[in-house]
Structure 1
Amino acid sequence: MWKLKTFSTGWDSVLRRLSPRKTLLAELRAQWGKPGTVMAWRASAYFDLVRNKGTDVSVDDRTWLDLEFPKIFSRLDTTATPLGSQYLFASLRTYVDDPQELAARYTCADMLQKNAALRENILLALAALSDDGLADIAEFVFGDPPRTVEYPKLLAFWSALSLLLVLGAVASLWSVWLALAAIAINVGVMARLFWNVQRDATALKRCVAMLPVADVIAAIPVDDTPFKAMHLLREQKPLRRKMQKKLRWLALLQKEPIQFISTWINVVFLAELVAYTLALRHFAQMRTVLQSTYALLGSIDASIAVASCLERCPDRCRPEFASTRLIDIQAGYHPLLAIPVCNSLRLDDRSALVTGSNMAGKTTLIKMIGINIILGRTLGFCLAARAVIPQSSVMASIRSEHSVESGKSHYFGEIERLQTFIENADRGDCRVFIIDELFSGTNTVERIAIARAVLEQLGADAQVLVTTHDVELQQHLSDHYDLYHFQENPDIEGFFDYQLMPGPATQRNAIRLLDRIGFPAKVVARAMKLTGA
């Protein structure tokens, strides 16, 4: 998530005070096209709340981790607000079945990349919502209903009486003690209600801050742009206006002159709790408007973050979606590599078995394919010159670590995951599987036998991209699998060119590398002899 820089001393502080808009605009332009750096606080909050409430299919937790999407999201997340960060996270984890919706997402981001004036005007307005505390809005708006205050009429009566007692203390000294007693009671009430009610009241105050920002963005001219969210913000302005009237007392507490004394106002007559109680009378209608406003503002902010990604990734494309089992990635690359090597792969109703030594590029390749399918089916673009992808979700098994807490071994955790793959393939729920080094912790004979059986089963119902060191598998899986390999090149710096080669691996360059790095000649010769080379 993009954050405003804080200037505390020197001329920067003076200039910021004299021309805050100009300073903010300079920061926006300096950040444009650069990657994000860290995962925003509570970035997953919105997704966690809505992931099981609809029919949409999401990227499962294991695949999200195995394909390094936490890092990818952090680089993608240059949003200006917590709302945008949360919406972007949910977008990246939720598959979209409608190709037209995906095309609209890409078109919107592409337009924002090119239209600097529109983009910057939106970001200037969104800057008012940059505080991390606004990450709590999602839970209030999409979570369980907010907690209510017990005995609201009694609270209103006591609030009025407290105010009268304090005003009376100003006019007559004899009532000072009564006023102090009322203040002490109010402090106790606030302390008692903090975790039950006060947090929700604070969250609702933060929700109120969204409404005027939405009005400002809605007023930005967008008549000639395919920007659905902006048009919807404009259409919903009358609804927001009604909501602002119903929340006027909470909105009043947000005004700058009053914010400075809000604590004292609450201590004197519990103003915030009373305003919160009055607002909750309209909660059902209020929630609908706030949910829509949150989603529209978040989607706009997220679209600008995607536009920034497009700015720094000129080699990308809109994918085509195949109704058959077809994966065709041309000049695709991995988003986390500083200097990526592009590779192409076409699988028409086939799977891929990729062999090669460690560090040659096998795992990077299959991750790249999986990542591009997910990007294409969530954000509407792929990091490739051309991409045809199936309308399927992706499931991955890259890391199978021993879990001390669960007591599961590496092998047991892996077979559980692969069992899930087979079940999903049988049901047709998923048709693309990314697998790295099956059963690497087992003995050679059993490993090859089990790997062959599993891959034959999966390859019959789905497309699999699998890496292995077991070249013996190459001769057994030709019915459903195309063979590819990476190979070492002892004649180049670093030993690897990371270029995918068609066909089975046949060379013994891994042993020749021993000679290059200084292994004893007799050891190298013995190794070559044992291989039959």
Structure 2
Amino acid sequence: MSNRNREKKLAAIRAAWGKPRDQYIPIGSVRIYFDKQSGSEAFQVIDDRIANDLDLDRVFETLDHTNSRVGQQCLYDRLRRPTNRKDQLEKLEDRITFFQEEVAQREEAQLHLQELNEARDYYFPMLIFDQLPKRPGWMNWAFLLQGITVGAIVFTIFYPAAFWVLIAVLPVNLFLHYQNKNRIGKFLVTFNRFSLLYRTGRQLKPYISGESEEIDRHFRTLKNILYKIGWINLEKLQEREEYAPLWFLIEVLKFITLSELILFFKLLDQIKQHRSSIQFIYEAIGAIDTAISIASLRASLPHYTRPEFTASAREISLVAALHPLLLDGVANDLQLRNKSMLLTGSNMSGKTTYIRAMGLNVILAQSIFTPICKSYCAPFFRLGTSIRIQDDVEEDKSYYLEEVNVIGELIKKAGEPQPHLFIVDEMFKGTNTLERVSAAKAVLSHLDRGNSTVLISTHDIELTEYLGDTYDLYYFQESVENDTLTFDYQLKKGKLRHRNAIRILEIMGYPPEVTREAHQLAAKIKIS
């Protein structure tokens, strides 16, 4: 890299510090690494339903300050797998702090990481996790054909009649060679970038955690794989006109000797045997980029904190917590001790945004050690949610039935010893008022037991009468002045005293006879 080009890239890196990626993020590609892993050893895997409830993909787009596609995939995976390992989070914090303080080394690392910023770099997890093609049963015939071809070439020098053997064998070789090209095609995308993965890893080696002897072993393994990839990965020669004749000669040599076909399956065998080394280097690069990304994210936040984790299963304290998508919004607290929260308020008052913000900050604390609060103290939670319920026409599931299934899953988890945080919006809104309130009270009492904490937002003020002893009551209140509706989005303790739903209809221009009848009926229902 020339000095001029280097300085240009450094200037771009400095200008982008503290800013998320400004380009389209194909979540389907970003999540390849996450999707291909088993979740058996994870403390919790945030499934797609919880991620959808919390808008986690949209949140990721604002949190993503990575420099490479590898780092992008590893950051996404970290958000979807919050941990209860304090030692892992402290190790992450040490690395973040290093890159916050050592600016020159961080910028040097960013220069190297940007080498892995092409869309093709999303496909390294295929080499690590995918089922690779098996060696075909006719492979021994390929070795035989290779021997016959080489022998025929040699014997033709002394016995010209051997040339006819060569003529007979070459069409078979040609067919097998180009049939194998179809197998190689999808792997070439990754093979083309494999040398860059190796090179970037070598350049970032000083920042890789682990025993130096083990790290060197992984790099030696990758270097051996690279030698075989080099012979297969010569297709790019045809992209440059001056190298096209050389590419043609090499291609002829490949199909005559079947060397590409034989080497391809030897390479796959070697990759299968040493996938752990590929994964080690891939994840090491991703971990470095993730730490740098978090350092950049912190520079963009109005405030953040290093979380504290308590052994008390039902104690949670978040001060001045913000929603990651609303950094210029109103900050609110969450203070609970041995109780859950019942939150009331009208539409648009901020209830759902608030409970989402709390759930997201739990994920941020347990994944990237960066909750957007002024202080954070809570146990290591597993999350459960019921916010965005959808009916399923194809499976003939009604809205209410789907909601029953989701809430049922929360009930199953409520008795587990591990602390759970359940975030629920408008429980059982798919059914009538009488049964909704009755069922919600019974379920919420059941969920609020053991080591589980519930954050429930609802329009059903009746629940405050039934759950006031076991749930702390909070509300959001809009105000109506001079026919203008305003929201302060400030959390308030206690019961919601004023109802403005019908008043809002008046402000929005509903016919007077409609709102008058609504007021009269509401008064009768309240009395009864």
Q: Would you say same fold, with TM above 0.5?
A: yes
CA distance in 2, matches of 1:165, 1:23: 57
Instruction: Provide the secondary structure at the position in 2 that maps to 1:490.
Output: strand
Aligned residues: 510
CA distance in 2, matches of 1:255, 1:22: 32
What is the match of residue 42 of structure 1?
29
What is the match of residue 71 of structure 2?
84
Instruction: Provide the secondary structure at the position in 2 that maps to 1:495.
Output: strand
* Equivalent of residue 448 in structure 2, options 451, 459, 463: 459
CA distance in 2, matches of 1:276, 1:290: 17
Residues 1:410 and 2:395 are matched in the alignment: no
Instruction: Provide the secondary structure at the position in 2 that maps to 1:432.
Output: strand
CA distance in 2, matches of 1:371, 1:68: 9
Instruction: Provide the secondary structure at the position in 1 that maps to 2:309.
Output: strand
Instruction: Provide the secondary structure at the position in 1 that maps to 2:348.
Output: coil
CA distance in 1, matches of 2:349, 2:201: 50
What is the match of residue 458 of structure 2?
468
> Once the 2 structures are TM-superposed, how far is the Cα of residue 234 of structure 1 from its aligned partner?
8.4
Distance 1:161 1:258, change over 3 A: farther
What is the match of residue 22 of structure 1?
7
Distance 1:202 1:343, change over 3 A: closer
CA deviation profile, 1:311-362 (whole Å, cap 9, x unmatched)? 2114111111122211211100101125311111101111111111100000
1:198-347 alignment runs, 5 A limit: 198-200=185-187, 203-204=190-191, 206-218=193-205, 229=208, 236-245=215-224, 247-251=226-230, 258=237, 260=239, 264=248, 265-266=250-251, 268-269=253-254, 270-283=258-271, 285-324=273-312, 325-337=314-326, 339-347=328-336
Give the letter aligned to residue 402 of structure 1.
D
CA distance in 2, matches of 1:176, 1:45: 51
Instruction: Provide the secondary structure at the position in 2 that maps to 1:54.
Output: coil
Contact 1:487–1:509 (CA<8 Å) still a contact in 2? no
CA deviation profile, 1:131-168 (whole Å, cap 9, x unmatched)? 22232221211333553355555435645776899999
Contact 1:47–1:90 (CA<8 Å) still a contact in 2? yes
Distance 1:201 1:156, change over 3 A: farther
> RMSD in angstroms over aligned alpha carbons?
3.6
Instruction: Provide the secondary structure at the position in 2 that maps to 1:460.
Output: coil
Contact 1:163–1:268 (CA<8 Å) still a contact in 2? no
1:109-124 alignment runs, 5 A limit: 109-124=96-111
Residues 1:508 and 2:499 are matched in the alignment: yes
Instruction: Provide the secondary structure at the position in 2 that maps to 1:387.
Output: strand
What is the match of residue 68 of structure 1?
55
CA distance in 1, matches of 2:167, 2:3: 43
> Once the 2 structures are TM-superposed, how far is the Cα of residue 435 of structure 1 from its aligned partner?
0.5
Residues 1:432 and 2:421 are matched in the alignment: yes
In the superposition, the TM-score normalised over structure 1's length comes to: 0.84
Instruction: Provide the secondary structure at the position in 2 that maps to 1:72.
Output: helix
What is the match of residue 480 of structure 1?
470
CA distance in 2, matches of 1:272, 1:54: 39
CA distance in 2, matches of 1:181, 1:489: 90
CA distance in 1, matches of 2:93, 2:302: 13
> Once the 2 structures are TM-superposed, how far is the Cα of residue 40 of structure 1 from its aligned partner?
4.4
Instruction: Provide the secondary structure at the position in 2 that maps to 1:302.
Output: helix
Give the letter aligned to residue 495 of structure 2.
P
CA deviation profile, 1:15-46 (whole Å, cap 9, x unmatched)? x9994333333333333222235234522222
Contact 1:354–1:483 (CA<8 Å) still a contact in 2? yes
Instruction: Provide the secondary structure at the position in 1 that maps to 2:336.
Output: strand
CA distance in 2, matches of 1:165, 1:266: 19
CA deviation profile, 1:483-504 (whole Å, cap 9, x unmatched)? 1111111249651111111101
**Gapped runs of 5+ residues in structure 2?**
none
Contact 1:244–1:251 (CA<8 Å) still a contact in 2? no
CA distance in 1, matches of 2:419, 2:507: 45
**Gapped runs of 5+ residues in structure 1?**
1-15, 220-226
